[in-house]
Amino acid sequence: MSLAVLYGQHLDLSTTFAVIVLCAFITHMIFKYKEPYNPIPLAGMLLVALPSALSVLFLRHVCWIFAIPLAFFSFHFILAISIVVYRLSPFHPLASYPGPIPCKISKLWMYLQAKDGKQYLYIRELHKRHCSDIIRIGPNEVSIIEPEAMIDILGNGGVPKGLVTTARNLFPDHPTNLLNTINPEEHLKRRKPWARAFSSTALKDHETKISKRCSQLADRLAETSGKLNLTHWIHLWSYDTMSDITYSGGSEMLRHGDPEGTLEMIYMSTRCGMIFEHMNWTAWFGRQMRSVQHRVGRFRLNAMRRAAARIAEETKTKDLYYYLRNEDIGKELRPAADVIPESVLATLAGTDTVSTASLAVFYLVLNHPDVYRRLQSEVDTFYPAGSDSTDPKCHKAMPFLEAVIHETLRLHPSTPSGSLRTITDDMSGRSIGTRYIPSGTSIRFHNYSVLRDHRNFSPCPDEFWPDRWLVANGQLPSPTKSFRHNMAMFIPFSYGPANCVGKNLALTELRILVCTMLQRFNMRFAADWDPSEWERNLDEHFALQSGDLFIEVECR
């Protein structure tokens, strides 16, 4: 007896389509409640095997050549309609929150905004367009800028990191570093050696390495005449500095350049993560693709070689490895397999974030000559010609330096889109600020919007105005009665138990570098270069990344 007789002989066309609709609807419900990170078993069964089986229902009406494509088209068309209608319907748990229709339908739309590095600008524009503190930026994702929501999301007992954290790392079999550790208890355990590595005592050792590299950078720039790309030199400096801090050396990019393309490896490894962040299931395919593994793995292999060399040598300085391996507390040393991923994270995060923040400082002060003159005057007061500008002893007495750095970080935070958290299914929803967010929802507390919100910083929240910090500290009178300076919302390093553990190190690097550069040089934008290009070329691939910054330097 043929399959047609068994399955389709007694079904008319309308009944056949009714069966297709029912199967498509059931498939939608299965994926809605059990979306797998490995799509092959479930997707293969429901999206390929099921419509193939349903094709026999059409054999009574068309020949087999047309039955299979007709079944596939009908099934997937009805499935797509079911998904779209549900996500746009008033029955969706996030239906009350505004947002673009393409965002509500699919995460593909947000990925298209993110792949060019402008996600953070797009999300802020959505908040402004909809005049709302919460907007829907995905089928099950929202962005929030309500001040009352920060502690509920990022604070102790807040919303945990979600699947995106591990998806960016291609779903490792177990947590490999501090950043991709989701479990709060495990995160706290992993964070302890990091906290020791960046304590005030440990920073004293790191300061010596930072000072040495800042002096080397200044010496190299002094040898360069005419137009130079400061972005290139700052990236070399930042990588060498983090190598010294992490491995006690091993990199001399300021001397030899980057013949191995290490900085390009860093860029590609972070850029690859954008599609995995927005469509988590694609990370499974990324694990199977040699080209993706090559992009992500090249830098890791480089770090493994550096780590092996560091472990083979006798400890000479108290570098990051000294703390991550527990050498400082005399306990059983952590195995290299546990420490290497942490060192990869340190080099990646430390190079990208500090270099972009440094370039932002120089861009903004050069773009505001009055600020440049005041800052250089303060540097000259505490570090006159001939003195050691790399000695951090005067930093605490330099209020304008601190104001410039804080204002830069307010305008250009290193992770402008913030950390993505997920209210898991077992949490049964959560009150976030003044809202109730259902389970299964991913949440961004959008740093970039919060730091430029007039409710937190005014007047002129979008303008570079370092004096706002001096007014807030009582060192200058307020220029207006509407002055606002909400330090609780100053979160360029995030907030809570998962905030940036290297915050104090980053600030130390910025202070030493800025003092060294302004004491040693007079700087200006290159005459044949449009400065506005720098901000236009800022890209976000998890961390903010800088484009070219062409300047001319003159030794003082």
The DSSP line for 196-250 is: HHTSHHHHHHHHHHHHHHHHHHHHHHHT--SEEEHHHHHHHHHHHHHHHHHHS--
Sequence-separated (6 or more) residues with CB below 8 Å from residue 494:
154, 415, 418, 419, 447, 500
Q: Calculate ∠ Cα 99-100-106, nearest 5°.
A: 105
pTM of the shown model: 0.91
Q: Which of 449, 417, 411 is nearest to 534 (CA)?
A: 411
**Domains of the chain listed by start with CATH number:** 3-88 (no CATH), 184-555 (1.10.630.10)
Q: Which of 38, 148, 125, 144 is nearest to 421 (CA)?
A: 144
Distance of alpha carbon 72 from the chain centroid: 39
Angstrom distance (rounded) from CA 502 to CA 429:
32
Q: Give the 3-state secondary structure of residue 162.
A: coil
Strand partners, 141: 138, 442
Angstrom distance (rounded) from CA 290 to CA 137:
31
User: Residue 507's pLDDT is what?
Assistant: 96
User: Residue 306's pLDDT is what?
Assistant: 76
Angstrom distance (rounded) from CA 323 to CA 316:
13
Q: Dihedral sign, CA of 174, 180, 182, 183?
A: positive
In this structure, the chain runs to a length of 556
Q: Strand 442-445's sheet: what is its strand order?
A: 134-138, 141-144, 442-445, 420-422
Q: How many CA atoms lie within 13 A of 320 on its CB side?
A: 28
Sequence-separated (6 or more) residues with CB below 8 Å from residue 283:
37, 166, 167, 168, 170, 171, 276
Sequence-separated (6 or more) residues with CB below 8 Å from residue 41:
none
Q: Which ranges of the chain have pLDDT less than 50?
A: 1-8
Unique residue bearing structure tokens 């370039």:
359
Q: What is the dihedral of CA 55, 58, 64, 66, to 10 degrees?
A: -90
Sequence-separated (6 or more) residues with CB below 8 Å from residue 347:
239, 242, 243, 246, 266, 303
Angstrom distance (rounded) from CA 330 to CA 183:
27
C-beta neighbour count of 173 within 10 angstroms: 6
Q: How many CA atoms lie within 13 A of 481 on its CB side?
A: 0
Q: Is 549 left (phi over 0), alpha (psi -120 to 50) or beta?
A: beta
DSSP H or E stretch at residue 541:
strand 539-541
